[in-house]
Amino acid sequence: MTWGNYGGYAFQYLIGVGGRNKSTSDQFANDALAGKLPSVSWVLAPGQFDEHPPDPGRGRMGNVTTGMQWTVDQVNAIVKGGLWSRVAIFVTWDCWGG
């Protein structure tokens, strides 16, 4: 099975995985448009698309509108690349707003 890590950081903490198969999150849309995604892909949006609310202690954060559009753009790249019928998409967040 092939796999790719697009912009995610969690894999650097797994011994034996390290930085292998790592690309920028921008590369995901390019690979999807080309119809050439690995069997499993982990995708993390760049910081400017962060959907957390503003936090004075952390500086400027993203906003929901731009973050949502980034996610839509990734799904659209999958569709335009002809992969829609062969892909399962799971969208998750680390916070639920409470």
Contact 78, 72 (CB under 8 A): no
Q: Is residue 92 in a domain?
A: no
Give 98's pLDDT tier (boundaries 50, 70, 90): very low
pLDDT digits (tens, 9 = 90+) for 26-79: 999 999 999 999 999 999 988 888 787 766 776 666 678 888 999 999 999 999
Q: Which of these, 1, 93, 90, lies nearest to 39 by C-alpha position? A: 1
Q: Is residue 93 in a domain?
A: no
Residue 80, pLDDT > 90, answer: yes
The count of other CB atoms within 10 Å of the CB of residue 1 is 5
Higher pLDDT, 44 or 20: 44
Q: Is residue 95 in a domain?
A: no
Domains: count for the chain: 1
Show the tokens assigned to 51.
């959907």
Q: Is residue 70 in a domain?
A: yes
Q: Structural domain of residue 49, as residue ranges? A: 3-86
Cα–Cα distance between 98 and 26 in angstroms, integer? 30
What is the model's pTM? 0.81
Cα–Cα distance between 61 and 69 in angstroms, integer? 16
